[in-house]
Each structure stands twice: as structure tokens, then as C-alpha cells.
Amino acid sequence: MGRGTNRAIGQWKKAKRYGLATLRLSLRSNHNRIVTCGVLVCLFYFPLWLSIVGRETLNGSADTLLNFGFIYLGVQGLLESRQQMALYKPAEDDRLLGYLLILSGAAIFPLFLSSTSLQALLCMWILVGIAVCTWGAAIFRNYAVPLVLLIVSVYPQLGFVGNTLRRTLTANQLESWMAWLSSLGFQAVGQAAIAQDQFLSLSADFDATKAVEVASGCSGFDMAFVLAGVGLILGLFFKQPWSKILLLIILGVVLALVFNVPRIMLLAIAVVYWGQESFNFWHGSIGGQIFATLLLTCYYYAAMTLISRKPTKTSSL
């Protein structure tokens, strides 16, 4: 046998020993068996999560920045605190509560194989149960940030949840504001425009033939949501105080909404004057990626300037 074959056999034997040791550990006690049951459910869901995240990335969505950023920060925070977390011992009530969360989530999971959202929520439910029965509910008081980030990252379309909640609470208010701001932008450059609710018309009086609708996808909320999350990620990564993290979040939201106005203006010109093909390009994945790249680049430099700025010291008299 060649050296490469011997190395492959050695690696296979090592992997086999590790697998058998993991199997014995997972079946050693009732606690391990219940936790293993929850982990297996989450592993069953993982390929679906990965396929959705991959598809959204190829379609130009920036939501995946939040998923992977939250996973990184969550895992890093737990690894840095693993010695302190090992000292936490769950009370009997916490252990029973954790087991109930895991087993109920695992039992209900097969009933919702047709719903990605419910599968994600059940996996989040199970992960909470694993944390509670392993360390106790008190773990969330001292390590809430990494645990919550890790649990939230399980949902593959965080922007969809945020946008659904926003539209439920405010209907089309943001779309109407964006249409109005875009009409002001056109008027500032000498182009006649008027807004009516979420519709923008490139005429002095409202003309349906020259009107475009500012729909949910063009409201700017998606990128504002992403940049708010990126601000949180950058702030936690660089260990900034919560006051500065809040400023990073506000900066992202404001910058995304400001950038969205010229984007709407460009799309309106494309659909009214340049034709459907031009509109499809700028409204599609390539145009979206160009817009997202420009916005993220500007936000990165603005955020790093804010992060590197040292607080001013007041001189004492």
C-alpha cells in the first residue's frame, strides 16, 4: 500500500474511534439521551437551513451576513466562557423544564416538515431546552448575548420576520414615506414628480401611466434591518460599549434609508423611460448586489471611523 492509502486508513480508524466514543457518550445517561435527541432533530433541519441560506446568498440577499455573524459571535462567546459555564449546575426544576422543551419540540417537529419557519422555531425551542437542562435557566442572565445570537441564527430568513412584523404594525407607512422622499429627490434635480401613498409618478400631476409602486422590497427596510444587525455584530466583535453599539445600529438604519431614495429614483426612471429590461436588471439580483455592495462599503468605512474614534476627555479645572 502507498503512503496515501495508509494515511487514509489511519484517518478512517481515528474517525471510527471518535464516532464510537461519541455514541457511547450520547447513550451514557438519560440526560445525554434526551440532549442527543434534540441535537439529532437540529441536525435533520440543518441541510434545509443551509440550502435556504445558500439560495438567498446567490439571489443577492445580505441576510446571510447576520446568520453567519451571529453564529460566529455566539460560538466565540461560549468558547471564551466555557470554563465559567462549566461551573453552572441546573436545579432539578430547570432540568425537568429543559427536558420538556426538548422532547416536546422533537415530538412536534415531524408534524411541520412542510413549514420552514415552524421547523426553525422548533429548533430554537429545542436549543433553549438544551441550554436550560445543561446549565440552568440562570445561564441566560450572564451569557444572554452569545446564547440569544446563536439561537436566533437558526432562523434562515431573519429579514423576512422583521419585515412581516413591520408591515403588521405599520402597514405601508414606510413605502409611502419612501415614495414621498423620492418625489422630493426628483423635484430637487428639476424632474417633475408627485407621490400618492406608496405610488410615485414622474409627472406634475399624478399620471398612472408614469407611476411606479414602491413595494415592500423597495422600502429600504431589508437593508436597514441588515445594517442594524451588522452594526450589532461590529460593535460586539470590537467589544464596544452598548452606547456606541446603539449608534452603529442607528447609523446603519439611517444610511440604508438615505441610500434607498436614489435607488428608487433610478428604478422609477428605468421602468418609465428605459424599458422593462433595464428595470429587471436594476431590480434583480445583479442590481441588488451592486446596490448592497456600495451601501455596505460606505457603511463599513463610516462604522470603522465611529469605532476608532476615542471619547473626548474633559480637562479638569
pLDDT in tens, 133-144: 999 999 999 999
297 shares its domain with 220: yes
Domain match, 144 and 109 both: yes
Q: Does residue 148 lie within any of the structural domains?
A: yes
Binned at pLDDT 50, 70 and 90, residue 271 comes out as confident
Count of structural domains, the chain: 2
Dihedrals phi, psi of 191, to nearest 5 degrees: -100, 130
| Residue 17 domain flag | no
Q: Is residue 13 part of a domain?
A: no
The single residue listed with the C-alpha cell 496515501 is: 4
Reduced to 3 states (helix: H, G, I; strand: E, B; else coil), residue 202 is: coil
- Neighbouring C-alpha atoms within 13 Å toward the C-beta of 256: 25
Structural domain boundaries enclosing 241 = 164-308
Among residues 279, 259, 168, the alpha carbon closest in space to that of 213 is found at: 279
| Whether residue 168 is found in the same domain as residue 281 | yes
- Would 25 be classed as within a structural domain? no
303 & 173 share domain: yes
- The residues facing 199 across adjacent strands are 196, 213
The reply to whether 116 falls in a domain is: yes
Find the mean pLDDT for residues 110-129: 95
Same-domain check for residues 172 and 237: yes
> Is residue 107 located within the same domain as residue 172?
no
Q: 103 with 196, same domain?
A: no
Q: Which residue has the cell 414602491?
A: 214
Q: Quick one: 38 and 147 in the same domain?
A: yes
So what's the pLDDT on residue 29? 86
Q: Edge-to-edge, what's the strand order for the sheet holding 211-213?
A: 194-196, 199-201, 211-213
pLDDT at position 6 over 90: no
Q: Are residues 214 and 256 in the same domain?
A: yes
Closest among 281, 297, 262 to 183, alpha carbons compared: 262
- What confidence tier does 315 reach under pLDDT thresholds 50, 70, 90? very low
Q: Which three cell numbers stand for residue 5?
A: 492509502
Mean pLDDT of 68-76: 95
Q: Report pLDDT for 307.
A: 92
| Number of separate helices (H) and strands (E) present in the chain | 14, 3
Is the domain of 195 the same as that of 296?
yes
Same domain, 146 and 168: no
State yes or no: pLDDT of 314 exceeds 50: no
Tell how far CA 162 is from the center of its chain: 10
Q: Of 12 and 162, which is predicted with more confidence?
A: 162
Q: Is residue 4 part of a domain?
A: no
Q: Is 12 domain-assigned? A: no
CA 115, distance to chain mean position in Å, is: 19
What number of other Cβ atoms are within 10 A of residue 279's Cβ?
Answer: 20
Whether 125 is covered by a domain: the verdict is yes
Same domain assignment for residues 89 and 220: no
Give this prediction's pTM.
0.86
Contact 166, 174 (CB under 8 A): yes
Last residue of a domain, one of 119, 152, 185: 152
